[in-house]
Amino acid sequence: MAVDTAPELPHARLEARAGTALGLRLRLRNRMMAAGLLRPVIDDWVANDGQILATGARADPAYVYLLQGAEARQTITLLVPAHVAPDTMLRSSIGFPGMGDQRIAVEVRVLAAAEPGIPQAPVDVSLDVALPLGGEGVSAADEFGSIAQASYSLVAGLAGLDMIPARWLVAELLTAVCEAGEAHARTPEGQALLDRLGRTRFFKNGVVAFASAQAPRWILSGLSASSGLHAALGGQIGQGQLLYIWERWLLGLADADIESNETTAAQVRVPDSTLQMYASDLGTSADRWFGTLVLGLARLSPRIAAALEVIAERAPAAPDDSSAAGGSSPPQDVMGEDGPLSR
């Protein structure tokens, strides 16, 4: 068995018996100046007689989030078809969408199958994979390096969004909108709007829907997935969130003047994300999640803000003791209130 792990175009050449499981143990290294979300795509086997055979490929983990300069491990399992004749050559390849057009070649010469009843020992191969495949790492000192890297990282980021489980990003977006709503609630206008909305059927229906669907737990779980994955790779929890990565890309556009080709400008730093801390503060309270969400939407969308004003105008009058109780926030236990949804 011979394995070639050339740094630019790694590939594996090996011999294995028919019916053997192959484990390709990849050590992934990100040489780019941007983070990337990796999902390997494995081609079917192509035999030297032209047959197309299934590889039964499986990647563990299915996705790998790799920061700039970081390393991670991923195992790809392939199966050598059991019915292939000895001396057949099987070829496949592994690619990473958004990380270049080059691919990792895999070639297997099939040996005779073992005697019936004798288990087939798996064959493991270790490969060093530097990304992007077939390209040099990007240096900030290169001519026009800043604009080229900004463009490349944007393309890679958009490609990554096609591959990630959508709940990660949706959970972060919902929390970011709620955080904006929390800030709006601290203003007199926001307090007044929340107070009026809190006395409407609209508000109570929304809280009931959030609680019934366990939306707060769903959001908290989604935030933990992306942040926990990054923390497991040695990073800070807040920096593992997708919105933080995009914020860092946006502010990174100011780090260098591409007209003068100078790279000595002071970097603009984005503070660590507070989304998970804020979400933990909201906890599983459907009242707080829904209230801050509608305020955040009112802050971000003039169209929704106008509709919410129409709903708030139909709110019943506040109780006589509202001023003594503060009156600037909706009921704290909407689910526990007596009476029908229509107030």
CB 6 within 8 A of CB 101: no
Q: What is the pLDDT of residues 82-105, one digit of tens each?
A: 889 999 999 999 988 767 678 999
Token pair of 122 as six digits: 């798996």
Q: How many CB atoms are located within 10 Å of the residue 261 CB?
A: 13
CB 56 within 8 A of CB 20: no
CB 23 within 8 A of CB 56: no
More confident residue, 170 or 68: 170
* CA within 13 Å, CB half, 338: 0
Q: What is the pLDDT of residues 281-340, one digit of tens each?
A: 899 999 999 999 999 999 999 999 999 999 999 888 877 654 444 444 444 555 554 444
Length of the chain: 343
Distance CA 248, CA 46 (A): 43
Distance CA 9, CA 28 (A): 13
Token pair of 207 as six digits: 């809280």
What's the confidence (pLDDT) of residue 157?
65
What's the confidence (pLDDT) of residue 189?
94
Taken in order of first residue, the domains within the chain and their CATH numbers are 2-131 (2.60.40.2310), 165-336 (no CATH)
Q: What is the pLDDT of residues 34-69, one digit of tens each?
A: 677 788 899 999 999 999 999 999 999 888 877 777
Arithmetic mean of pLDDT over the chain: 78
What's the confidence (pLDDT) of residue 280?
87
What's the confidence (pLDDT) of residue 6?
42
CB 271 within 8 A of CB 248: no
Distance CA 55, CA 42 (A): 8
What's the confidence (pLDDT) of residue 333?
52
More confident residue, 153 or 307: 307
